[in-house]
Amino acid sequence: MNSFNSLMDGFASALTLSNLGFGLLGTFLGTLVGVLPGIGPALAIALLLPITYTVSPASALIMFAAIYYGAMYGGSTTSILLNTPGESGSVITALEGNKMARRGRAGAALATAAIGSFIAGSIATLILAFTAPSIADLAIKVGAAEYVALMLVAFGTVSSLLGASQIRGFISLAVGLVLGLVGADLQSGLSRLTFGNQSAVEGIETVPVIVSIFALGEALYIASRFKDSGWEIIPMKGKALMSREDWKRSWKPWIRGTFLGFPLGVIPAGGSEVPTFLSYS
């Protein structure tokens, strides 16, 4: 009962006109920053931090949350239109959303990403609001064995998405594992595969690798055809809205992604990569 009363007090504070305005502003600014490839939600919050210096703590927290949600959605825009993920959680969006854009359905793809983000985020936020104490106790109990199991699940998921060539898929997986080994070991502190380079001690971040893989390929493709006069502008088909068939196809993946992403997201260092691949597979 105390948790419910506290939740109602939180709603009363958050649903004021000023706080709703800060939430709208944070969502707008977060989406603008999130569109830039390689700038994730954490960096977006850091860049926009000075804006909150003159507001109340509650308004600042609401704005931070809104910036995070906006930046997470903003990464899907470049994924769909440019085949360049804005952050690591948008890789699957790039794989499928860009195909829709090339068929003239970029508007429907953007609408699907926006509505799906809103529905999944709202459901997960409500679940977290009612189950936060229990989830916190469970997250603390996650140990080495659980992380190993999570990695095995991730490898199994990747193996199901290797495509037609199993050999190339496993080679890509091996290269990814080698890149993941670069840096200092978290348990012993010993450097691995740094070759004396101190800047590599912190390891290789996932976002720069993903952005470079997708963006570099698109840049080389466009550069190789720079003088080609046969460029064709793909007209947008239909309205920038979801059709009835899109709704029928999308609601099940939305629910599946929500209930896969929520438990994996509350795990410390769980990230958004594993649940997106799990939901897609």
DSSP sequence for the chain? -HHHHHHHHHHHHHTSHHHHHHHHHHHHHHHHHHTSTT--HHHHHHHTGGGGGGS-HHHHHHHHHHHHHHHHHHHHHHHHHHS--SSGGGHHHHHHHHHHHHTT-HHHHHHHHHHHHHHHHHHHHHHHHHHHHHHHHHHHT--HHHHHHHHHHHHHHHHTT--S-HHHHHHHHHHHHHHHH-EE-TTT--EES-TT-GGGTT---HHHHHHHHHHHHHHHHHHHTTT-S-----PPPS-SS--HHHHHHHHHHHHHHHHHHHHHHHSTT--SHHHHHHHH-
**Model confidence pLDDT, tens digit, residues 119-152:** 888 888 888 877 777 777 777 777 777 777 777 7
pLDDT at 23 over 60: yes
Domain count, the chain: 1
In a domain, 233, yes or no: no
Identify the domain containing residue 189 by its residue range. Answer: 2-226+238-280
In a domain, 108, yes or no: yes
In a domain, 231, yes or no: no
In a domain, 60, yes or no: yes
Given pLDDT bands bounded at 50, 70 and 90, which one contains residue 70? Answer: confident
**Model confidence pLDDT, tens digit, residues 211-249:** 777 777 777 777 777 666 666 666 666 666 777 887 888
**Model confidence pLDDT, tens digit, residues 29-55:** 888 887 877 677 777 788 778 877 888
Residue range 73-95: mean pLDDT, rounded: 77
What pLDDT was estimated at residue 64?
A: 86
How does the average pLDDT of the chain come out, rounded?
77
In a domain, 144, yes or no: yes
In a domain, 22, yes or no: yes
pTM: 0.69
In a domain, 232, yes or no: no
